[in-house]
C-alpha cells in the first residue's frame, strides 16, 4: 500500500517506472489519437441550430482548444514533478492523499477507458458498413477491439509502431479531406469574419452549452500522462508531447468545422448528426459518404489503440502499490501489462455485448471532470504548500492558465449537476465506492502477517 503522502520527502519518493522506450513522437501520436474521435464529425449540426455564424463557430472551437492548452500546462508541471504512469491516480495521490488517487484510478481502471473504447468501437462498426454493408456492426466493433488488444499484448515496441502509423494515416486522411474541401467544392455563402451579431451569439446560453460538448471533443489532451513511466526524458518530453498534440488537434478541429461550413449549406447541416457525411457528399458526390466512412474508421482505429494502451497503465500502476491488485502489475518481457490489458478488453467487450457503454459514459463524465479539476487545482496547492519541490517544467501563464481551466471545468460540472442530476449522482456513487474499496484494501494491508489468511 502506498505510504501517506505528507511532507516534501514523500512527494519526492521513488517512482517506479517501466523503462524509457516511448519517444516524444509516439507520445504526441497518442495525444492526437486519443483526442480525435467522432465528436468533431458530429457536433456541428447541433451548434449551428442556435449559432448560425461561421466566425462564432470557429471561435467556439478555438476557445475549447485554448482551455485544453491551459490544462496541458498544469498537467505538464505535475507530470515533470512526478514522472510516473497513470495520470490522475498518480497526481491526486501525491498532491492530496493516496485515497483520492485511488478514487481517480478506480474510475479510470474500471470503466473510464473501457466505456470510450466500446463507444469508439461501436462507431467503427457503424461507419464500417460503408465498406462492408453486410457486416454486423457489433462483430466489427468486437473485432477491432480484439485486434488492437492483440497488438498491445505484443509489447511496447510494436504498440509504438502501430500507434504512430495509424495516427499519421489518420492525420494525412483528414488533411486530404480538408484540401479537397477547400479546392474542389463551390463555396457556400458563409463568412468567417467577425460581425456585430457575433457578440450576441458568443454571450448566449447556447454558446456556453456548446462549449461543454466542444470540451468533450478535446478530452484526451492529457493522454501522455498515463504513460509517463515509459517515456524517454519525461520531464522534458511530456509537456512537449501534450502541447504539440493539442495544437495539432486544435488546428484540425478549426479547419474541419470551417470546411464543413464552406462545403455544405448551414440549413442542410443544422440538427444533423452526420455532418461529415453531408459535407463529403458535396465534395465527392455519391461516393462522399464512403470516403468519409473510411476516414473516420481509420481514425477510430488509432483512437481505440491509444485508449487500449494508456487505460491498462492505470491498473498496472495501482497493482504496483496495492497488494490485492498485484496481478495487474505483471508485465511481459516486452513491457506489456498483460493482465491489465486483458481486464480492460474484457470490460469493453462486455459493454459492447450489453450495449451499456452509453449509459456508463453518461454517469462517469462528472467523476472524470471532478478528478481533472482537482489535479489542476493541485498545481496551485503545491506552489503554496511545497514551493521547494523541484519543478523541471513550470506551468506557462501561472496562475491565469490553471484558473481558466478550473473555471470552465467548474461550469461543466455545474451543467452536469443541473441538467443530468441522476447521472452525476451515479458518478459520485462510483467515486464513493472507490473510497470504500480503498478502505478495505488499506485495512487488509495494515493487518499483521499472522492475521492474514494462509499465513502462520
Q: Please give the pLDDT value at position 358.
A: 85
The C-alpha atoms of residue 429 and residue 99 are separated, in whole angstroms, by: 15
Q: How confident is the model at residue 446 (pLDDT cuts 50, 70, 90)?
A: low
Q: Please give the pLDDT value at position 138.
A: 94
Q: Please give the pLDDT value at position 20.
A: 61
Asked if residue 35 is part of any domain, the answer here is yes
Can you name the residues that pair with 46 across neighbouring β-strands? none
Asked if residue 425 is part of any domain, the answer here is no
For the segment 179-220, what is each residue's pLDDT rounded down to a tens digit? Answer: 999 998 788 999 899 999 999 999 999 999 999 999 999 999
Can you name the residues that pair with 22 across neighbouring β-strands? 231
DSSP 3-state of 22? strand
**Candidate from 12-16, 69-73, 144-148, 299-303 with smallest mean pLDDT:** 12-16
Question: Is the pLDDT reported for residue 11 higher than 80?
Answer: no
Between residues 84 and 131, the one the model is more confident about? 84
Q: How confident is the model at residue 286 (pLDDT cuts 50, 70, 90)?
A: confident
Asked if residue 253 is part of any domain, the answer here is yes
Q: Please give the pLDDT value at position 433.
A: 95
pLDDT, average across residues 316-324:
93
pLDDT, average across residues 268-293:
91
In angstroms, the first-to-last Cα distance of the chain is: 21
Long-range contacts, stretch 222-225, CB < 8 angstroms, 24+ apart: 222/71, 222/72, 222/75, 222/87, 222/372, 223/30, 223/31, 223/33, 223/34, 223/35, 223/306, 223/310, 224/27, 224/28, 224/30, 224/31, 224/79, 225/75, 225/78, 225/79, 225/87, 225/90, 225/91
Percent of the chain with pLDDT over 70: 93
Q: Please give the pLDDT value at position 450.
A: 42
Q: Please give the pLDDT value at position 273.
A: 86
Can you name the residues that pair with 231 across neighbouring β-strands? 22
For the segment 155-168, what is each residue's pLDDT rounded down to a tens digit? Answer: 999 999 999 999 99
Q: How confident is the model at residue 252 (pLDDT cuts 50, 70, 90)?
A: very high
For the segment 222-249, what is each residue's pLDDT rounded down to a tens digit? Answer: 999 999 999 989 999 999 999 999 999 9
The C-alpha atoms of residue 444 and residue 129 are separated, in whole angstroms, by: 50
| Omega before 399 within 30 of 0, i.e. cis | yes
The C-alpha atoms of residue 338 and residue 353 are separated, in whole angstroms, by: 22
The C-alpha atoms of residue 305 and residue 229 are separated, in whole angstroms, by: 18
Asked if residue 158 is part of any domain, the answer here is yes
Cβ count near 443 (within 10 Å): 10
- Distance from chain centroid for Cα 34: 5
> In the structure grid, which three cell numbers stand for residue 230, read together?
515509459
Q: What is the DSSP letter of 84?
A: -
> In the structure grid, which three cell numbers stand for residue 303, read together?
483512437
The C-alpha atoms of residue 149 and residue 126 are separated, in whole angstroms, by: 20
The C-alpha atoms of residue 222 and residue 233 are separated, in whole angstroms, by: 17
Residues 6+ apart with CB under 8 A from 294: 130, 131, 173
For the segment 355-398, what is each residue's pLDDT rounded down to a tens digit? Answer: 888 889 888 999 999 999 999 999 999 999 999 999 999 999 99
Question: Is the pLDDT reported for residue 76 higher than 70?
Answer: yes
The C-alpha atoms of residue 247 and residue 244 are separated, in whole angstroms, by: 5
Q: How many domains does the chain have?
A: 1
**Candidate from 90-94, 131-135, 149-153, 333-337 with smallest mean pLDDT:** 131-135
Asked if residue 440 is part of any domain, the answer here is no
Percent of the chain with pLDDT over 90: 80
Q: Please give the pLDDT value at position 261.
A: 96
What would you report as the CA-atom Rg of the chain, rounded to the nearest whole angstrom? 22
Q: How confident is the model at residue 354 (pLDDT cuts 50, 70, 90)?
A: very high
Asked if residue 47 is part of any domain, the answer here is yes
Asked if residue 320 is part of any domain, the answer here is no
CATH number for 381 = 1.20.1740.10
Among 295, 430, 349, 378, smallest CA distance to 121 is for: 349
Question: Is the pLDDT reported for residue 429 higher than 80?
Answer: yes
Q: Please give the pLDDT value at position 451.
A: 42
The C-alpha atoms of residue 396 and residue 241 are separated, in whole angstroms, by: 15
Between residues 447 and 337, the one the model is more confident about? 337
Residues 6+ apart with CB under 8 A from 8: 386, 388, 389
Q: Please give the pLDDT value at position 17.
A: 43
Q: Is residue 235 classed exposed, middle or buried when 0-12, 13-18 and 19+ CB atoms within 10 A define those classes?
A: middle
Helix, strand, coil percentages in the chain from 3-state DSSP, rounded to 5: 75, 0, 25
The C-alpha atoms of residue 117 and residue 304 are separated, in whole angstroms, by: 6
Asked if residue 337 is part of any domain, the answer here is no
Furthest CA-CA distance within the chain: 81
pLDDT, average across residues 71-92:
96
The C-alpha atoms of residue 320 and residue 428 are separated, in whole angstroms, by: 26
Cβ count near 294 (within 10 Å): 15
The C-alpha atoms of residue 234 and residue 217 are separated, in whole angstroms, by: 26
Question: Is the pLDDT reported for residue 302 higher than 50?
Answer: yes
Q: Please give the pLDDT value at position 19.
A: 52
**Candidate from 206-215, 336-345, 401-410, 444-453 with smallest mean pLDDT:** 444-453
Q: How confident is the model at residue 448 (pLDDT cuts 50, 70, 90)?
A: low
Provide φ and ψ at 113, rounded to 5°.
Answer: -105, -35
Q: How much is the pTM? A: 0.91
> In the structure grid, which three cell numbers stand for residue 83, read together?
514522472
Whether the Cβ atoms of residue 223 and residue 306 lie closer than 8 Å to each other? yes
Can you name the residues that pair with 246 across neighbouring β-strands? none
Place of cell 495520470: 87
For the segment 54-68, what is each residue's pLDDT rounded down to a tens digit? Answer: 999 999 999 999 999
For residue 209, what are the domain limits?
A: 19-95+122-311+368-410
Amino acid at each position: 500500500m502506498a505510504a501517506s503522502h505528507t511532507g516534501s520527502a514523500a512527494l519526492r519518493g521513488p517512482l517506479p517506472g517501466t523503462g524509457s522506450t516511448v519517444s516524444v513522437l509516439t507520445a504526441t501520436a497518442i495525444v492526437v489519437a486519443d483526442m480525435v474521435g467522432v465528436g468533431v464529425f458530429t457536433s456541428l449540426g447541433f451548434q449551428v441550430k442556435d449559432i448560425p455564424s461561421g466566425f462564432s463557430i470557429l471561435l467556439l472551437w478555438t476557445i475549447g482548444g485554448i482551455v485544453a492548452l491551459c490544462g496541458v500546462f498544469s498537467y505538464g508541471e505535475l507530470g515533470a514533478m512526478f514522472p510516473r504512469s497513470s495520470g490522475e491516480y498518480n497526481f491526486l495521490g501525491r498532491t492530496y492523499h493516496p485515497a483520492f488517487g485511488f478514487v481517480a484510478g478506480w474510475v479510470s481502471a474500471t470503466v473510464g477507458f473501457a466505456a470510450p473504447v466500446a463507444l469508439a468501437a461501436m462507431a467503427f462498426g457503424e461507419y464500417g458498413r460503408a465498406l462492408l454493408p453486410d457486416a454486423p456492426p457489433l462483430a466489427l466493433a468486437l473485432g477491432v477491439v480484439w485486434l488492437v488488444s492483440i497488438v498491445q499484448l505484443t509489447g511496447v515496441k510494436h504498440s509504438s509502431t502501430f500507434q504512430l502509423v495509424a495516427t499519421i494515416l489518420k492525420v494525412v486522411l483528414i488533411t486530404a479531406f480538408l484540401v479537397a474541401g477547400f479546392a474542389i467544392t463551390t463555396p457556400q455563402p458563409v463568412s468567417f469574419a467577425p460581425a456585430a451579431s457575433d457578440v450576441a451569439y458568443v454571450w448566449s446560453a447556447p454558446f456556453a452549452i456548446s462549449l461543454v460538448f466542444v470540451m468533450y471533443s478535446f478530452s484526451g489532451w492529457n493522454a501522455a500522462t498515463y504513460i509517463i513511466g515509459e517515456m524517454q526524458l519525461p520531464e522534458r518530453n511530456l509537456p512537449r508531447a501534450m502541447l504539440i498534440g493539442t495544437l495539432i488537434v486544435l488546428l484540425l478541429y478549426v479547419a474541419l468545422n470551417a470546411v464543413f461550413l464552406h462545403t455544405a449549406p448551414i440549413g442542410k447541416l443544422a440538427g444533423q448528426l452526420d455532418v461529415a457525411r453531408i459535407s463529403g457528399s458535396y465534395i465527392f458526390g455519391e461516393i462522399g459518404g464512403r470516403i468519409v466512412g473510411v476516414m473516420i474508421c481509420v481514425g477510430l482505429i488509432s483512437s481505440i489503440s491509444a485508449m487500449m494502451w494508456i487505460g491498462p497503465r492505470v491498473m498496472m500502476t495501482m497493482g504496483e502499490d496495492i497488494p490485492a491488485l498485484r496481478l495487474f502489475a505483471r508485465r511481459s518481457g516486452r513491457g506489456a501489462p498483460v493482465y491489465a490489458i486483458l481486464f480492460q478488453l474484457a470490460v469493453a467487450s462486455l459493454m459492447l455485448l450489453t450495449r451499456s457503454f452509453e449509459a456508463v459514459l453518461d454517469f462517469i463524465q462528472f467523476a472524470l471532470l471532478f478528478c481533472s479539476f482537482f489535479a489542476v487545482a493541485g498545481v496551485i496547492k503545491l506552489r503554496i504548500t511545497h514551493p521547494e519541490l523541484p519543478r523541471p517544467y513550470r506551468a506557462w501563464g501561472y496562475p491565469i492558465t490553471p484558473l481558466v481551466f478550473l473555471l470552465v471545468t467548474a461550469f461543466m460540472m455545474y451543467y452536469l449537476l443541473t441538467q443530468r442530476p441522476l447521472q452525476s449522482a451515479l458518478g459520485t456513487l462510483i467515486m464513493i465506492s472507490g473510497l470504500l474499496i480503498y478502505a478495505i484494501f488499506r485495512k487488509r494491508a495494515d493487518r499483521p502477517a499472522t492475521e492474514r489468511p494462509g499465513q502462520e
